[in-house]
A and B are shown apart, each in its own frame.
Chain A
Amino acid sequence: MKKECIAMLLAGGQGSRLYVLTGEMAKPAVPFGGKYRIIDFPLSNCTNSGIDTVGVLTQYRPLELNSYIGSGQPWDLDGSSGGVHILPPYQGAKGGSWYKGTANAIYQNIGFIDMYDPEYVVILSGDHIYKMDYSDMVKRHKEAQAACTISVMEVPWSEASRFGIMAVDGDDMITEFAEKPKEPKSNLASMGIYVFSWQALRQYLTDDEADPKSENDFGKNIIPNMLNDGQRMAAYRFEGYWKDVGTLDSLWDANMDMLSPESGLDLRDESWPIYARSVNAPPAFLGMDSKVSHSAFNRGCTVEGVVENAVLSSNVSIGKGAKVSYSVLLPGTVVKAGAVVEYAILGENCVIGENCHIGGEPGGSEKWGLTVLAPNCQVADGREVPAGIMLDRNAEEVSK
């Protein structure tokens, strides 16, 4: 079935910099913003952009992600033509292999893409929080008659050396690309979102696969090769909120950003809805002695204590006299009476015993950091877990 444009979503990464949060699930399945998972953002962007065919490439710990995506119905991606497809590595007659890199993952699924015979393929990552109209980017790609279009955004010059940086000409055509340059020539950073003309990409993937020295990576191999060959490469400027939530700090930051729509991340704006698979639970209940301030909460929450500057996912419960501040609590976590949680990310279904003290304020010390608990971690009554500590599911300290 012919489609003009399909999307391929790279969701196989482990997300090792999220440490214990991705111990048992791939990064795109990590809960975000109280009711979403990270993958809801690219999937919702696809459906809002009119892209009805999405391949999701999975590899690391895919169970949680697979069951979350299911038929694709929450994102309207369960149509009879197209829809969402989970694409794990597979065996062929001549054997098979794991996805060796981002480009190899797409290479191994050339057959899938060819089934739809698209003009354009959008390549997406499963670890970014943003709202973007991909159809506008495809329009730019067509108008520029490009082989590849890369979405870019201006970042502060001081941070430019952390990104893949593009140099562009007067028409915003890319002239140079440098991965994490020490002396950046521009502050236009790649957001890891690409539109390719499929026939061009198909050729480059095939050539790349034949090169034994290649790392089979878009940023390291495919993009530089296309530039070197003088292919038309367009930049697509994105203005708006975008955050890579690949680290604990950035995941926490993005959650806090959601509380303040001035940050640019306005999830209440219904003109570009972010869809999620919904959890079946009764409405939240805020008790007589509760105090909730500058915080978000969800279905199934029960709050009897104090919650400030915090994000409570579904089915979180906060006991009497407990205080939660500057923290992100993932679904099903229970904070018992009298406990204090500050500057922390608590994984799913954690139990914080009575009068525990989890985390601490930043005191200017260099060793300070968020306190992070693995999913299902149970902390015994009265225990203190200082700032910067990470606990595994057995409530034992592990290093970051």
Chain B
Amino acid sequence: MNGLHGIIFTYEKRNDLRELTEIRSAASIPFGGRYRAVDFALSNLVNAGVTDVGVVMNGRYQSMVDHLGSGKDWDLSRKRGGLRLLPPFAAQQGWGIMPFRGKIEALAGIRSYLEEIRQDYVALVDGDLVANLPMSEIFDEHVKTGADITVVCGNDSFSTADGSYYEKDENGRITEVLYGLNRPRGYRGLEVYILSTKLLIELVDECYAKDLFSWRRDVLRANKEKLNLHCYIWKGYAAQIRSVQEYYDRSMQLLEPGIRSDLFCAERPIRAKGADKSSTYVSPDGSCINSLVGEGCNIEGVVENSILFPGVTVEAGAVVRNCVLFKETVVRKGAQLAYVIADKDVEFQEGHTMMGQATYPVVVAKGSKV
């Protein structure tokens, strides 16, 4: 048995994601033409040999429950361990109705589950991180460095809404925990942590008893002298999906071959739910270039620089440029779209035009008829 347990937080509902999280949490946002954001967290854990994963959910979690099912698609449907869905079950303080104020509350809500963890170490992972992380390497480094908590950070020029940032010394020990910065500095925290199960339970109990709820403030910043916080730097693609702009920019990055080979590397495949769709078809008069295309699409119009999820229809004479179209979007004859993010089952009617901007993509809510 692998010594690492996974806990994925999927309860965040970011207002900056507008219509995209009206019906779901950030972690179940469709991403990359086939996936949900949470698929990356699950795959990262499973690819590192993790067999037991708990998924913490709260509010609007029906879409998440539908998506995860028994965990079979990630090989997490097991007799012992496997996937455990963790809706709020310690019904205190209105949890389940009220959002958690922070990770500590979320963890306190599953206190009895924490007690049952069979592994010595726990990885805490946010469900809205899209990255292909070498978790087993990170785990090895955590054990080798003897750190109390390993904090995984990104190393690129991207910032994220409500991000946490870290400064470290030459040994990789974290010296500053920063957030609420107008101008980010240091390394961007990816909200992925490894620590021992024992320490986790101690920290949760300690904070909860004092009505402290913020992981970064009350655990990391408050204990940065006392605990050895180690920074692991991940140099690859790492997108936190927290605003529509971030969603759009990070999606469009997937059209670069280097980004795709990093995110979809063959050694660590990203697993996702299958879809029973036929092959995608491009008609003699259709055209589709520089695009990422899911299965079961039918393209008779023009598609450029776009991401199409499964089952999208683009009728003859329609033009789709720089768009992200979720499952089963229908673009009728002659419709023209640019810089549009269309949620599931949207229909753009004949001859309709909708134009956003690269710096302000238009979001169309699920099931709309435009």
Contacts and interface: CB of A to CB of B under 8 A. Distances in A.
Interface of A: 33-35, 73-74, 258-259, 267-268, 273-276, 278, 280-299, 311-312
A290 B290 CA distance: 8
Contact of B260 (A33, A73, A282, A290): A282
Given A285-B291, A286-B289, A298-B295, A311 B279 contact: yes
Interface string B6-44: 000000000000000000000000001110000000000
B33, B72, B293 interface centre (most CB from chain A within 10 Å): B293
A291 B291 CA distance: 12
B33 A283 contact: yes
A259, A282, A292, A297 interface centre (most CB from chain B within 10 Å): A282
Interface residues of B, number: 37
Contacts of B134: none
B63 interface: no
Contacts, number: 101
B280 to A, nearest CB: 6
Contacts of B255: 285
A73, A292, A296 interface centre (most CB from chain B within 10 Å): A292
A385 B270 CA distance: 38
B264 A297 contact: no
B291 A282 contact: no
Contacts of B295: 35, 283-284, 298-299
B94 interface: no
Nearest to A278: B274
A258 B279 CA distance: 10
A292 B288 contact: yes
A281 B307 CA distance: 15
Contacts of B281: 259, 268, 295-296
A295 B308 CA distance: 17
B212 interface: no
B292 A285 contact: yes
B290 A288 contact: yes
B293 A33 contact: no
Contact of A291 (B72, B257, B287, B298): B287
A259 B278 CA distance: 11
B158 to A, nearest CB: 21
A278 B33 contact: no
A298 B280 contact: yes
B278 A35 contact: yes
B273 to A, nearest CB: 9
Contact of A282 (B33, B284, B289): B33
Given A280-B271, A282-B33, A298-B295, A287 B276 contact: no
A287 B296 contact: no
Nearest to A308: B284
A280 B272 contact: yes
B279 A34 contact: yes
Contacts of A74: 274
B47 to A, nearest CB: 12
Contacts of B290: 286-288
